[in-house]
Amino acid sequence: MAADSESFVCLEDFEKSARKHLLQSRVDYFTDGCNEQFTLKENIEAFKRYRLRPRLLRDVSKIDLSTTLLGQHIFWPVGVSPTAFHRIADYAEGEKATARATHSEGSVMILSCASTCTIEDVATASASGILWMQVMFFKRREITESLVKRAEAAGFKAIVVTIDQPVFGKKYSIDKNKTSVWFKLHAHERPVNLNLGIKDKGGEIAATLDRTATWEEIKWLKSITNLPLVLKGITTGDQARNAVEHGASGILVSNHGGRQLDYLPATIDVLPEVVAAVEGSGVEVYLDGGVRHGTDVFKALARGARAVFIGRPIIWGLTCKGYEGAKQVLSILREEVNTTMSLMGCTNVNEIAPSMVVHEDYFRKSKL
């Protein structure tokens, strides 16, 4: 837990503080990207290469950030991406704290299948909040099916299937830490919704993933649920078209926070290609990866995302202050989005136009 004297004014403050409060092996697990960590850094750096072109002298006395995701009303276009093992960050409540914070901040939470709280407990904690369930294709397909059925019964509103993880990406620090605490999960830190038949080692989950999965499995998933399907991990137009053909309702443009395949491009860069590929299909496109500021959110919306999601910042918030920390991370970001909208001259998300965000090259090429 963070000291009362610490001040938290932006999302990076939570990261700095959290790094001091966790064992290094766990900081490595939460923070690191794969291999050279190129994509991890690129997610953040790419946002900085886009510039803003505001409209001025517009009445911005009232800003409405609300939108809908898959037909559900949310108060602002930012949600929480699925991240595993929240009780490593917040022993007391873990994902239950995240669900409460997300609901209280008027947003949507995607629960990781490697959650340390049960699906049912998270649903209860969230009260009437909007929850989506993230699943993967396990070798024992009944595990995937049981996650879907339990989420349906608990009132979740969508299934998010992660398709960029047939194997785990290679993280050098995790390999170096093989004898560390991270590989010896405490009882309360286990993925309680997964009956994987493994003991207590975080690293063993990799062996349970089904590498044989193809687009046929998306058809299977659709056949076992009436909930809308969101495909997470898409980074090209071709993949997006495939997702549409296979009945996706949403696409989460994601490179897994730079944790799977290094040298994937930054999500903010590939976003328009995906948006163009699904144009006219009615499929919603979201983005995650490197979103840390209100201006990042604005840039993603201008480049075609309907909403964006954040991963690590929630873990830092939980580590620093549990429920209060996760809530504060969201409220700081929401306030930043609000301010950005005012300064950009937009009173609601429909007024955000693609021309309001340009790549830095725009000015290099300009003859003015």
Ligand X SMILES: Cc1cc2nc3c(=O)[nH]c(=O)nc-3n(C[C@H](O)[C@H](O)[C@H](O)COP(=O)(O)O)c2cc1C
Residues tagged active-site = 256
Q: Which of 30, 137, 138, 316 binds ligand X (CB under 6 A)?
A: 30
**Does 43 interact with ligand X (rule: CB under 6 A)?**
yes
CB-wise, 82 or 322, nearer to ligand X? Answer: 82
Residues 126-145 touching ligand X, rule: CB under 6 A, are 134
Q: Which of 27, 69, 74, 114 binds ligand X (CB under 6 A)?
A: 114
**Does 112 interact with ligand X (rule: CB under 6 A)?**
yes
* Cβ atoms 83, 99 nearer than 8 A: no
**Does 202 interact with ligand X (rule: CB under 6 A)?**
no
**Does 98 interact with ligand X (rule: CB under 6 A)?**
no
State the minimum distance, in angstroms, from the CB of residue 12 to ligand X.
12
**Sequence-ordered alpha helix ranges (H) in the chain:** 11-21, 24-31, 38-48, 86-89, 95-104, 119-126, 141-153, 172-176, 216-224, 237-245, 267-277, 294-302, 312-344, 361-365
Q: Which of 115, 121, 111 is nearest to 88 (CA)?
A: 115
Q: What is the residue whose two structure tokens read 């499995």?
A: 217
CB-wise, 111 or 346, nearer to ligand X? Answer: 111
- Number of residues near ligand X (by CB under 6 A): 22
The answer to whether the Cα torsion of 58, 59, 65, 71 is positive or negative is negative
Alpha-carbon gap, residue 298 to 313, rounded angstroms: 18
Alpha-carbon gap, residue 76 to 166, rounded angstroms: 32
State the minimum distance, in angstroms, from the CB of residue 350 to ligand X.
25
Segment contacting ligand X (CB under 6 A): 194-202, 284-292, 338-346, 356-364?
284-292
Binding site for ligand X (CB under 6 A): 30, 43, 81-84, 112, 114, 134, 162, 232, 254, 256-257, 259, 288-291, 310-312
